[in-house]
Amino acid sequence: MKTKNIIWIALAGVLVVAGLILIISFFRKPSAPAATPTLTQNANIVLTGVAVTAEAKMTEMAAITPSPLPATETQTPVPATAIPSPTVAIVLPTATSAGGVPSVDQATFVSDVTVPDGSNFSPGQSFVKTWRIQNSGATTWSTSYKLVFLQGEQMSGPASVPLPKAVAPAQSVDISVSLVAPATAGKYRGYWKMSNAGGQLFPESIYVDINVVGGATATVTGTARTPTPTPTTGTPGPTATPVTQVPTATSGTAVVTVTNVTLGVDNGNVTGACPHTFVFTGQFTLNAPATVTYQLEAETTPAITLPGPVTGPQPAGSTTLVYNLPFATSFSGWVRLHITAPTNVASSQVNITLTCQ
């Protein structure tokens, strides 16, 4: 009986204590959970630690993550149709002289000094055509410049004629060519051009324009002379019969003579840059029109190449031949003009030497 009382008393005490705790909890405000020692530290210290940790994490991520391009460098894509195709401009330099003027050979026709266009000539009549041309370029023409036959009717003229003098820019010069009217009546025109020392033709051309009127062939009479390579005097022979073309040394009772055969060179001893162009000038005289065969001959060491023989009708009187011959290697020897028909006559030998450097 005593034991049961004790148990009830103990149980009642527990209930009382529990009830007190409930009452106290009901009337007391909720409080924060017990703080850990780290939460009671200084707030600045805690924030600094967080920042350091975040920075370390960002550094770690940056090491493995590529940095994005700055926002200012981002460009808006341009549609493909709006992008122009690339172009390449090639600028070529323009050759100029010291004064800034284009350095080019040019000639301007000034006037016909002799034989105006449409002049009339008898068949086979000899005449001299003279042009006046101006140096309208920026280079000075030397005597190595020449007037060369281009196309049309050559009228028994030479292949080229050298300038008689040097011509500075803006100056004019008269250039003459000995010609022969064709044997058949009609209208004839021959074109000529200037050429520089290097053989390059000018862009401009000039021409001679004539009319051949009268008979079909020329009739020439005169006094025949004994054939001789040099001029002679003596008793004249019989009167020559009309001559139209003489393929041999005689035609009927007339004897065709070839005299005054000469050859000269502008400079026979040259030392300098190669190739170098020599200008040979040959001459011969006929007492009557004839078909003439002529050529240059040479004996040099080493041997040089010369133009082949030329055959063609030539008028009575003096004929001038001009050869512009370029050579690229050194040589030494002599050159002469050889007439092989209608008679066999040769000029004196002209010594010539080229030393290339």
AA identity, residue 267: N
Cβ neighbours around 240 below 10 Å, total? 19
- Asked whether the beta carbons of 130 and 113 are under 8 A apart, the reply is yes
Tell whether 224 and 204 lie within a shared domain: no
Q: What is the pLDDT of residue 230?
A: 34
Q: What is the pLDDT of residue 244?
A: 32
CATH no. for residue 122?
A: 2.60.40.10
The tens digit of pLDDT for each residue in 239-248 reads: 333 333 333 3
Residue with tokens 């920026």: 138
Specify the number of domains making up the chain. Answer: 2
Q: How far apart are CA 248 and CA 240, in angstroms?
A: 15
- Asked whether the beta carbons of 216 and 184 are under 8 A apart, the reply is yes
Residue 286 lies in a domain: yes
Q: What is the pLDDT of residue 254?
A: 63
What DSSP character marks residue 96?
B
Q: Which of 141, 287, 147 is nearest to 204 (CA)?
A: 147
Of 202, 218, 234, the residue that ends a domain is: 218
Tell whether 209 and 228 lie within a shared domain: no
Question: By residue range, what is the domain housing residue 328?
Answer: 220-357
Q: Which of 93, 174, 81 is nearest to 132 (CA)?
A: 174
Of 164, 189, 218, the residue that ends a domain is: 218
Of 218, 241, 273, the residue that ends a domain is: 218
Residues of the chain with pLDDT under 50: 32-54, 62-63, 70-74, 78-103, 216-253
The tens digit of pLDDT for each residue in 163-186 reads: 999 999 999 999 999 999 999 999
β-sheet bridge partners, residue 270: 354
Q: Kindly report whether the global pTM for this prediction surpasses the value 0.85.
A: no
AA identity, residue 170: A
